[in-house]
Structure 1
Amino acid sequence: MRILHTMLRVGNLERSLAFYTEVLGMRLLRRHDYPEGRFTLAFVGYGAEADNAVIELTHNWDTPSYELGNAFGHIALEVADAYAACAEIKQRGGKVVREAGPMKHGKTVIAFVEDPDGYKVELIQK
């Protein structure tokens, strides 16, 4: 068994695709509209789905936004330099909600950014 993808419901697919591809540097791997169901699925990631876990962005055409609730935590990405990654993300228009620095009670350098729908993405320095 292996993890295939994590699904996030998004209110504005184009805005979310711009964030994940232009701000976080992922690639759009595939996208398909389902007119009868009034939804679109778009898969983004850093490598082919055959070899990597990816993110499925689900856009229900008639739902402009969602309540995130308090059960979901975050997606984590490994980065070479969390400080540089934050600077680059800000330069690309991304929102850093926790600047890079050592985690509480530890030494690992982390940061958090937020996608257009409010989902948190943790950056963990390698």
Structure 2
Amino acid sequence: MDIRRLDHLVLTVGSVDRTTAFYGNVLGLRVVRDGDRTALHFGEQKINLHQVDHTFDPKAAAPTPGSGDLCLISTGPIDAVLAELARSGVPTEAGPVRRDGALGPMTSVYVRDPDRNLVEIACY
């Protein structure tokens, strides 16, 4: 087996509409709806959204909103990320701080999405 990259992950959310407004309008991810399924696309990855009262099988053993912790990479600079967050009225939880990412050192800021998932936005 030769695992190369993450294709997608699933976030269980309280409201697909609130979540797509945050990730689509504030962070700029592309919202794709296919019937009763909704996903957030960016680069070569995606985040599938499962509303807590309407999940799909198979699924995690105990899916709950607000239990996610993910890192998104921006082309930066980090000052532009901070300015965009401020324009959108999104408070930062922490940062900017130096972190070690999959490709080496990066600078990160942390915010919360509508379900209080921790979202790290980083620039290499």
TM-score by length of 1: 0.71
Matched, 1:75 2:99: no
Q: Which runs of 5+ in 2 are unaligned?
A: 56-63
Structure 1 segments of 4 or more deviating over 2 A? 1-4, 29-32, 60-63, 66-69, 101-104
- In 2, distance between residues paired with 1:31 and 1:94? 28
Aligned 8 A contact 2:52 2:65 in 1: no
CA drift of 1:99 comes to 2.8
Number of residues of Structure 1 aligned to a counterpart in Structure 2: 109
Report Cα offsets for 1:18-73 as digits up to 9, x if no partner. 0000010001123432xxxxxxx3101224xxxx111011114479xx4645xx5x
Closer/same/farther in 2, CA of residues 32 and 94 from structure 1, 3 Å limit: farther
TM-score by length of 2: 0.72
**Correspondent of 1:26 among 21, 26, 29:** 29
**Correspondent of 2:88 among 77, 87, 92:** 92
Q: CA RMSD in A?
A: 2.7
SS of structure 1 residue aligned to 2:92: strand
- In 2, distance between residues paired with 1:84 and 1:97? 17
- In 2, distance between residues paired with 1:67 and 1:60? 7
CA drift of 1:13 comes to 1.2
Q: What percent identity do the matched residue pairs reach? A: 28
